[in-house]
Structure 1
Amino acid sequence: MKPDDRIRVMEIIARMNVSGPATQVTGLCERLSPVEFDHRLYTGYVDGGEGDHLQLRDATIPVHRVPGLGRAIKPADDYRALFGLANAMREFRPHIVHTRTTKAGALGRLAARLSGAGAARVHTYHGHLLDGQLSRLRQAVYTRTERRLASMTDRIVTVGARVRDDLLAAGIGRPEQYVVIPPGTRLGPLPDRGRARAALGVPLDAPVVAYVGRLKKAKRPDRLAEVARAVLARLPGARFLVCGGGELKEELERAVMPMWDSFRLLGWRRDVETVYAAADVMLLTSDSEGTPLSLVEAGMAGLPAVATRVGSVPEIVVDRRTGFLTEPDADEMADHLVRLLVDPGLTRRMGESARAWTCRAFGVDRLVADTEALYRTLRGAARSEVGSR
């Protein structure tokens, strides 16, 4: 295939902070066929206090920085980003504009219309804001805006069936617009358990629980502290590894101060594999999720999980086979954690099942194959509508 005949894809994401969306984008940038696709990443800068995925993972993928594109909503910056994206589209002339995250999804799709490029428009929902995270007024504005944007979109991708069903129930898009593409990732080599624990200051014989993710409201770090208190009341020697950061970091520090010796607050780390290698069980305490990659990675590391039954989590954790799904109740979560921590045989069996399931269903090669197939379909649609360029 001649280079000029490649499918040109413009990938737009607000920022490449440590998160599932950034992991997905990195995998695609690294592995999409360069012979068939000219795939370019457009993004803003990571805010202070957030981990930068590209730096932490030593990623060397080319990045096109868009001034004004980022996390915060600021009208002047947003207009700057909108027109910057539109100008970039006129220059690049993409066949496909693929947006991710709420702000980038809005600006990218508006820019595609403003530019007149005629590209097929794809938006991926890695989650949504339909589950009580917003006030009633903001929720109504969000829903109305997403309905309007869906009318300007050729394909809506969701990372799980539950996310798709929630969006459809809110009147966002039509069933025929939707494609479910589960996330895909890969995990680096795991260090030896003893070396991992020594590196993190954890006793070799301690029962260890890992939490990996941002410390923000939807993730409920306050519930993490409640669960820890309940576990430590029964297993005083247990340890909790918290890998991540965010706006509630200081709040979590205050909450766990009475249990400080039982916690390791690790911040963002390049070597998340060390955290998984040192742990026995993975914990997720969220009120809201899409399809959390931390659970996928933990499964690939052979860890069973105790997780709230929210979003598409049940599409990753197979209840009572690869872990336990619970209501958002700290005592129930603590009960399941203790059960796993005192029964190494059960933990090992569930961990082996988790590794087999996640490696089969959520590998990065499957993600790339599914995405390439979607892009080929959309290139055909683009040619029929706007010509082959």
Structure 2
Amino acid sequence: MRIARVLTRLNLGGPARQVLASDPVLRERGHRVVVFTGRPERGEGDLADQLRAGGIEVREVPGLRRGLGAVLRDDRRARRFLEAAFAELQPDVVHTHASKAGVIGRAAARRACPGAGRVHTFHGHVLEGYFPAPVSAMLIRVERKLARSTHRILAVSEATRADLVRLGVAVAGKIQVCPPGIRLDPFLHLALARGASGAPAVSGEKPTQSLRRAHSIPRSAPVIGVIGRLAGVKRTVLAVEVFGAVAAEFPEARLLIAGDGGERPRVEARIAQLPPDMARRVHLLGALDNVVPVHEAIDVLLSTSSSEGMPVAMIEAAAAARPVVSTAVGGVPELVQNGITGLLAVDRDGLAAAVGGLLGDVDDRLAMGRRARTRVQERHSAGALADRLEAHYEEVLRSVHDKAEPQGS
């Protein structure tokens, strides 16, 4: 089948990493996949070349960019470009991801290829808590309208699906859960976290520890990692505060922050407020195309977000056999089994206690990491995601053959 995928940008975030995993697999199975995308913002990174290296055609859409601040002229330009591209490609399926690409891509599909199946994925949502109440209400109305002309709506977690139903975007039967999948191999090959002596935990495994060497971090030092955009919803300032509490108990502890974004000045200001010796042990790495070295270097992944769908960084950490400590938001509890593959908490003190507990108990930390690795291998591989998407597309195409337009929700 011919699949047109539309994303606002191929940055280092979860949606792009999932596309990087699934689409080369779909191509190997004989499908033609064309990815349409805008340009990432400064500091976000860009996975377009990696996707092209996997044999996927990537087309840049002029004017396609995120946010309500994008001028209507740009939105119209992006829609006209997609209409022309869809008319030429005549895809069997148009699959859009996240809000802006979802609005523009589905509108273009209805005009240019009305016979194509229209699929949209919510990777979490911005319908509550991101914008003032009147703006949120407007976005909900838009999504409700779009849902009526979308053949299938996908959510990355049960929690995201429940939110969409609660907000009246669509009825439960129209929204299917499609958990993320990523390329696991680079992470599965990493050695387990170090034992108390600083030696590899498993005989024969030889971690390179290049990131530790680059930042002069002793192999015996406990390292906490934070991976994600420096955006308000990620609450990276809170992560710095959690580290401050943990570092008071573990004087050698380090914090690695991989990501960039608009919150960077606030994060830097909060780091500067730490005691000088503690502040020197926080390393801002910026946006990284390859986060494997980060997962290799850390002992625990920390997430302090106020909202999540199902975070790809946590899947990566699990594949690397690193336990996660996180706020219990969105789909996180579906991914992190509290007390089994990681720990969940609600505030700074709880997060700090959880991190400190894992750093202080090597056996428990390693056991959680092993269980996490086993679990994601079964559920979140690139092949598993491709299987799920292929099944959804085939069901949608059968439905489209039966009716010209989907029934309203």
What does the per-residue CA deviation read over 1:339-360, in whole Å, with 9 as the maximum and x for residues that have no partner? Answer: 0101111111111111111111
Q: Which runs of 5+ in 1 are unaligned?
A: 1-6
Pick the aligned partner of 1:230 from 237, 241, 245: 245
TM-score under structure 1 length normalisation: 0.93
Equivalent pair of 1:29/1:40 in contact (CA under 8 Å)? no
1: CA distance, partners of 2:209 / 2:109: 50
Q: Which runs of 5+ in 2 are unaligned?
A: 192-205, 405-409
2: CA distance, partners of 1:243 / 1:157: 28
Match of 1:322 in 2: 341
Pick the aligned partner of 1:292 from 296, 305, 311: 311
Question: Matches of residues 52-67 of structure 1 in structure 2 within 5 Å?
Answer: 52-55=46-49, 59-60=53-54, 61-67=56-62
The count of aligned residue pairs is 380
Highest RCO, 1 vs 2 (Cα 8 Å, sep ≥ 6) = 2
1: CA distance, partners of 2:100 / 2:139: 11
**AA in 1 matched with 2:110:** R
Pairing 1:272–2:291 present: yes
Deviation for aligned residue 1:130 = 3.5
Deviation for aligned residue 1:12 = 0.7
Match of 1:183 in 2: 180
% identity of equivalent residues: 37
Match of 2:66 in 1: 71
Q: Secondary structure of 1:266's partner?
A: strand
What does the per-residue CA deviation read over 1:297-321, in whole Å, with 9 as the maximum and x for residues that have no partner? Answer: 0000000110000000011100000
Q: 1:115 to 1:172 in 2, by over 3 A?
A: same
Deviation for aligned residue 1:142 = 1.2
Equivalent pair of 1:131/1:288 in contact (CA under 8 Å)? no
Match of 2:390 in 1: 372
2: CA distance, partners of 1:202 / 1:20: 28
Pairing 1:50–2:40 present: no
Pairing 1:345–2:363 present: yes
Equivalent pair of 1:190/1:274 in contact (CA under 8 Å)? no
Pick the aligned partner of 1:195 from 203, 209, 222: 209
What does the per-residue CA deviation read over 1:159-192, in whole Å, with 9 as the maximum and x for residues that have no partner? Answer: 1111001100000112221111100012314374
Q: What is the aligned-residue RMSD (CA, Å)?
A: 1.8
What does the per-residue CA deviation read over 1:216-242, in whole Å, with 9 as the maximum and x for residues that have no partner? Answer: 000001111111111112222110111
TM-score under structure 2 length normalisation: 0.89
Pick the aligned partner of 1:331 from 349, 374, 377: 349
Question: Matches of residues 1-389 of structure 1 in structure 2 within 5 Å?
Answer: 7-34=1-28, 36-55=30-49, 59-60=53-54, 61-72=56-67, 73-187=70-184, 188=186, 189-190=189-190, 192-193=206-207, 195-196=209-210, 197-257=212-272, 258=274, 259-327=278-346, 329-385=347-403
